[in-house]
Homo-oligomer: A and B are copies of this chain.
Amino acid sequence: MTTHSTVERRVRAIFDDQPFMTILGATLERVVPGEVEIRLPCRAELTQHTGVMHAGVVTSIVDTACGAAAATVMETERDVVSVEFKINLLAPAVGDYLRAVGRVVRAGRTLTVCSGEVWAVSGDEARVVALMQATMMAVARVQG
């Protein structure tokens, strides 16, 4: 039987093995079956020309949150890859930090559909800045 902590350990291992998340400065905040949260402190290096966090940064953390959420409900010996996703950028991503939450909407044997949200948090205020709909696929594990 898979316990929640086993799931968390497995997802955390996948996350820690992603150099790009380290470059961004993202951390894994919460892992429960079907839902994962990632946090990213805002900083100047990650902005685009208008001074807000680059859409690619916003996308990177919520794609990762969705993929990790899919991984929580997949067979343990499979790997997860993003098939495709769509994101709406709703408001400028500015604040102290971003919170990306990925949730499983429907888990299938091969494909898992997830929805994701990104919140920009400034002090006590938070607002949704992006909305994602993503398709993840379980594939044979790549040997490290």
Contacts and interface: CB of A to CB of B under 8 A. Distances in A.
Interface string A86-116: 1111110000000000000110001101010
Contacts of A60: 54-57, 59-60
Nearest to A133: B133
B48 A133 contact: no
Contact of A19 (B47, B88, B113, B128): B47
Contact of A59 (B46, B59, B115, B137): B59
Interface residues of A, number: 52
A63 interface: yes
A124 interface: no
Contacts of A142: 50-51
Nearest to A127: B106
Interface stretch (A1-9, A28-36, A75-83): A75-83
- Indicate how many identical chains form the complex: 4
Given A20-B54, A50-B142, A84-B88, 5 more contacts: A22-B45, A23-B46, A56-B56, A56-B59, A91-B106
A125 interface: no
A74 B68 CA distance: 31
A72 interface: no
Contacts of A49: 14-15, 17-18, 79
Contacts of A131: 105, 113, 115, 133
